Amino acid sequence: MTITTKTLDVKGHNWQLFTLTNNNGMTVKFLDYGGIITEIVTKDKAGKMENVVLGYRDYEDYLNNKTYFGALIGRVAGRIEGASFVLNEEIYHVPEVENGHSLHGGPGGLHTQVFKVETIEHEKGVEAVLYHTSNDLDQGYPGTVTYKISYLLTHDDTFTISYEAVSTKDTLLTITNHSYFNLSGDLKETILDHDITLDASQFVELDDELIPTGKILPVTGTTFDFTHGRTVRGAVDSVDPQNKVALNGYDHFFIFDHKKDAAVVVKDPKSGRKLTVTTDQPGMVMYTSNALDDTLILKERQSEKYLGVCLETQSSPASVVHDGFPPIFLAKNDVYLSKTSFSFETE
């Protein structure tokens, strides 16, 4: 097992590229800028080591990372309707990013911040701990927030992200990682034939601007029923209005039942790779890169629609407007804790 560091000069910015490698040769590469995961290399059923996430060929493209490839997302992952909210009878305005709504913490969110990083070698694996402080009213949010985020790669080929945060004032907070997974290896195929199983019997209805309507719908009898496994391909030709608003795919919050150990299982039949996701979060936005076009130059190839699937475990910003949704309120001096693990194997 090893941890290596490389200094990058990216248009005058000095970034650090970290590589975590376990005893099996699995590697996770990430930047101190945005905590951006640029590569995860795992073996297929034949033992071939290949990358299973989307990332730019040129590091400078991360300076304008509108797709949020691999990045940490916060303070609030997802969309806040109208880019404003009321907290303790005070109105707060946050940056408008898309159609008059806030998205992923604003243009100066965690995905654009340079983290202080400490690395640790354990008997069980290799770890990097990322630190950052966000000042009061940064991107419009109240409270100075101190972040401590851990990237841990263990020898059982599990990559775990643990989040910890404390605010000096009552605030809103839900953090996630925006990696796009593609288990085919080196982006040989799209994710349309990936088989996905979700421990989720409900999902959140969206309007035409991808804002929750306030309705929580059952998945039964719809293309949103992943409880027994299905491919993404079914959404492409679906007439379901909810697939249509997401550009013939998924960009929806699924509410976990927490009846199974695994919240998510993703399989690629050709490579034999299997990804199992466990989390303590109440739900997840599954985004099937429906808005991705062919204009981006990735490490292995040109981008295209349906090239990756994001598994954004988090709470729901819809709770700011609607009752009955997993809350994102964080009280002053309370400790925000969250953990999500991504386990890789072959079959």
Backbone angles phi, psi at 232, to 5 degrees: -70, -25
- Residue 322: per-residue pLDDT: 97
If phi > 0 it is left, if psi is from -120 to 50 it is alpha, else beta; for residue 82 that is left
Q: Is 251 annotated as a binding residue?
A: yes
In this prediction, residue 275 carries a pLDDT of 99
CA of 309: how far to CAs of 146, 165, 232, 265, in Å? 29, 27, 9, 12
pLDDT at 210 over 90: yes
Contact status, residue 113 vs residue 133, Cβ threshold 8 Å: no
Q: Is cis: bond before 79, omega within 30 of 0?
A: no
The token pair at 240 is 């379901």
134 is in an annotated binding site: no
* Residue 240 labelled as part of a binding site: no
Geometric angle at alpha carbon 76, from 220 and 256, rounded to 5°: 25
- Under CATH, which number does the domain 2-190+288-346 receive? 2.70.98.10
Q: Using the predicted structure, report yes or no on whether residue 299 has a pLDDT greater than 90.
A: yes
Asked if residue 237 has pLDDT above 90, the reply is no
In whole angstroms, give the CA distance from residue 245 to residue 233: 16
- The answer to whether 268 is a known ligand-binding residue is no
pLDDT recorded at residue 94: 98
d(CA 94, CA 72): 18
Calculate the average pLDDT of the chain.
98
CB within 8 Å of 188: residues ≥ 6 apart: none
Look at residue 245 and tell me whether its pLDDT is greater than 90.
yes
Taking the C-alpha atoms of residue 267 and residue 285, their distance in angstroms, rounded to an integer, is: 18
Residue 236: the pLDDT is 87
Both structure tokens of 156: 């059982």
Residues known to be catalytic: 178, 312
pTM to 2 decimals?
Answer: 0.98
pLDDT band of residue 89 (cuts 50, 70, 90) is: very high
Note the pLDDT of residue 346: 98
Q: Where are the domains of the chain?
A: 2-190+288-346
Backbone phi, then psi, for 107, in 5-degree steps? -65, -20
Q: Give the start-end residues of each E strand in 143-289.
A: 145-154, 158-167, 171-172, 176-177, 180-181, 195-198, 200-206, 212-218, 230-231, 251-256, 264-267, 273-279, 283-287
> If you average pLDDT over residues 326-330, what whole number do you get?
98
Give the Cα separation of 52 and 64 in Å (integer). Answer: 22
The closest of 18, 130, 139, 134 to 72, measured between CA atoms, is 130
